[in-house]
Chain A
Amino acid sequence: MPVRNPRTLIISAALLLTASASVWAAPPQAGPATAAKPAAPKSKLDLPGLQKALESGDAAQMVSALDTISKSGDPAGAPLVEALLGRGADATVLSRAIETLGVLGQPSSGAALAPYAQHRTPELRHAALRALIATKSPLAGDVLRRALHGSDATQRAIAARGLGELNVRAAVPELLKVLPKDVNEAAQSLGQLCVGAECEKFTGMLGHLRFETMESGMVPLLLRPQADVPDDVKLRLIEKLRRMATQPANQLLQTALAKFPADGSAKVKLGLERALKGFSVTEESE
């Protein structure tokens, strides 16, 4: 199945970033997400002073300013940091700036962070991806999907996990493709995101892939509502796990039963209980 390549959207993000900082000294423009926002409450931060420090070219001053913004948690500092990323700086300052945007968690920071998700320095790349997840930026999904296609295993792992956290349903086909290629983090996201036939495909990999690879996605899937994952898919999975008759599989069933929501499917709950007693999930299949 062809997978939509999110490169174009990422480039658009980069364009947004660079458009906002196309002239060095120009103040960064807010992205579309912030443009529609009502006026923010007055900040306690000394924004002019911080801006001066961040434009000083003195790494110590810049790091100090970033620390101030980070500790304040004040979203008003985010545009200053975004502008800094738009101008570029050395690795130490960049690293701190990216981390700061993650702490602030502003969706508007996505455009500034997106290009750094493709930086040649792995640490900056990883930090940018983590910060993007934290910002819940509308751009994050496409950036993470792109990162899943990249050559760096750590980057792929961060992206796979983040796609589940951000509920990026469109990434399911890609996650299904990378799961058998040593991206174990895709399992948990698939357990959170798959629906219908996707879940069948996912659970069908149990037995073909190592249990450890699949494990993190099983419990989330069993706890999902029936509208997303039909009961019969869950029951087949429970039966498969029961027949494995291993300690880890049994442990997994116990965890699922312990966390089973009160309003969850009675059939599935009964299936879990029967499986843990060693019986087939349904009486008919005995």
Chain B
Amino acid sequence: MRSFKPWSALASMALLTSACGGNIAKGVGAPFSETCQSDQGKSIAALEERLRSAKAPPAAPVAVGVNETGLYGVTLPSGKRWAHQGTADTVPIVAGELVVASHAGALFALDAKSGRQLWSVPIENRKLRGAGDDGNVTVAVVAGESPGKSRFVAVTRTGEVLRTIDSKVELGFPAVKAGIAFIPWSSQYVTAIDVKTGDEVARLLVREIVTQARNFNGDLWFGEKGLVRFDDKIGLATTNQGTHVDLPARPLPGKPLWLGSGNQLWPVGNSARLKIRISALPTAAGGSPHFTNHAYLASYFRVVLGLSEQDGSVRFVKSLGGDALGMSAAQQGFAVCDASGKVSLVSEKGGDAGSAELGARLTACALDVSAISLPETQAPPALAEQIGQALSDLTPDMAVAQKLLVDELTKQDDPLVTKILIDLTSSAKIPPDLRAAARKLIATRRSGKQYMLAALERHYDYVSDVLLPPPLGPLADALAAMNEVSATPLLARHLNDPANEMADVERAAVALGKLATPAEYEDLRTFFALYRATADEPSLVKAVVAVGGALLRIGGAPGKTVVERAAQDPLTQVDVKRGLGALLAEQSAAPGTPKTTNVAQTAQRP
């Protein structure tokens, strides 16, 4: 059994040749042995110190799309396009100046700027899992569909395979810097291997899941859900004191992953997994670790959310022409590649920053803009408007995202929110649950009066294809709570429209009980006459009684006569009669102040 010798300052030079008992890593499993004892971060710290002055090259700003016939690239933000015949079996990876992909048992690299193929090497039915590049050497982990077939390869620019290590333990997404490859394994370790000698020169034990070694704009980070930076504190990572970043926990539709497990393949195909992702770019610029833009992106099919790194609150919403297949955060701004082949460049505030076309419909896309900034060319509309647009773009099967957006919408103070909610209740694309939620929220609105009144102008209209009446009940509740007397003629007109749901009519009647003016007397009188004896359901009974109350309040002597006679008429529906009797009793007990149903009593209904 090999033992992992404790390191001393003097021994640091020795790490070049020995990180785990001085054994040279060759053949199956040699460098990925769990029998070594932890060196408390000494070897990785010494390696970091040695490599500190070397900078891993950042990724070329490029988007690469895949479909069944080819790979399509476009440089960003300039928009120079290229195409490569032949497809990829897993999502390609932008590694430095290269695009690395696999297909039909071969690993190949293309020049990211031109699409020219640089090399291709056989990988025996394995597929690309992860790759990195240091400007001279490309490292990759390839794997089979079944576990235990991980292989690390290091390839020069000329296509010479410098190193091949097959491993029975799962190897994660690798990185490389100055000829030293960093390979996560067993979800716990990162092993540093000199690709020329094959020596394991350092090992890092991380106290969280580590399946990813990533080069973000020249800095290496290790981890999966959270990342620890390869910097002067890396030696402390074993005790959770390294430079660490992670994203705030918050529920998101589809439960998207940021990097996901580096131990798995990301096959090209129509999987939802590719369309529900998170993208964030960690940085230590300014001293403390954070994410560029102080924000990150989350995709859910055709909708992308910009979220605050602090609390996950929504900063912007972008709807796309196709499902989001790839995203990347820039130093400033973001880029999103969708299934239509469009790459949308987004400013850090969610405004437009240009776009590029890949020129083909896609089934997968990889892109990297981590090295560049994307200045805003057009400011975004108000967040409420962005959410409204996204809601109208979502299809009915995306209820989770719709609910999230509606929840976000209601946090906005913008009167436009009222309009968006009203539009939601009128959209056939919105599932019933969400429509009910939107109706409930309308009742709580206290701004956007103009939108409420405009909605009440609308009636069901078969000829003009207006096949959903406005949300009369919730609007009535809100307008009554706002004491909006200007709404009364519109509400009164809706009373006598049979296309409205009875429960809505009841709420309109209750609102009119509070708001009606003498100008609405005739509408109210008509409603009362039509239904005082034909009310056949509780809502209609309540509506008639509420209108009776309004007639008493605004109708003067004629109104009182109408109600009194109805209260005496044997034909008047029995519950209506009882309600009218109570109203009249109240009025005679306190003349001039007839009670009406409290609008707040109906405010919680959809």
Contacts and interface: CB of A to CB of B under 8 A. Distances in A.
B534 interface: yes
A89 B558 CA distance: 19
A14 B496 contact: yes
Contacts of B533: 88-91, 94
B528 interface: yes
A211 B597 CA distance: 55
B600 interface: no
Contact of A177 (B463, B498, B561, B570): B463
Contacts of A125: 498
A138 B533 CA distance: 29
B498 A178 contact: no
Contact of A151 (B499, B502, B523, B532): B499
Nearest to A94: B534
A83 B470 CA distance: 33
A23 B460 contact: no
A90 B534 contact: yes
Given A156-B462, A181-B462, A88 B529 contact: yes
A178 B463 CA distance: 6
B367 to A, nearest CB: 47
Interface string B140-166: 000000000000000000000000000
A25 B525 contact: no
A99 interface: no
Interface string B451-483: 000000001111110010000000000000000
B534 A121 contact: yes
B529 to A, nearest CB: 4
Contact of A3 (B463, B521, B528): B463
Given A88-B529, A116-B530, A121-B534, A150 B561 contact: no
Interface string B561-577: 11011101111010000
Nearest to B528: A88
Contact of A59 (B464, B531, B540, B571): B571
Contacts of B499: 150-151
Nearest to A21: B529
Contacts of B241: none
What does DSSP make chain A's interface, helix, strand, loop or mixed? helix
Interface residues on B, range: 35 or more
Given A58-B570, A90-B571, A115 B530 contact: yes
A18 B534 contact: no
B26 to A, nearest CB: 78
Interface in A75-102: 85-91, 93-94
B571 A93 contact: yes
Contact of A174 (B463, B523, B569): B463
A151 B525 contact: no
Given A11-B493, A120-B498, A22 B525 contact: yes
Nearest to A116: B530
Contact of A24 (B464, B493, B562, B573): B562
**What 8 pairs between A and B have smallest CB-CB spacing?**
A88-B529, A24-B565, A57-B570, A151-B499, A90-B533, A18-B522, A18-B525, A120-B498
Interface of A: 3, 5, 7, 11, 14-15, 17-19, 21-25, 57-59, 85-91, 93-94, 115-116, 118-121, 124-125, 148-152, 156, 174, 177-178, 181
Given A15-B522, A24-B564, A57-B568, 9 more contacts: A18-B522, A22-B525, A24-B562, A57-B570, A85-B529, A88-B530, A119-B530, A119-B534, A151-B498
Interface of B: 459-464, 467, 493, 496-499, 502, 521-523, 525-526, 528-534, 536, 540, 558, 561-562, 564-566, 568-571, 573
7 contacts: A23-B558, A24-B564, A57-B569, A57-B570, A118-B498, A149-B462, A150-B499
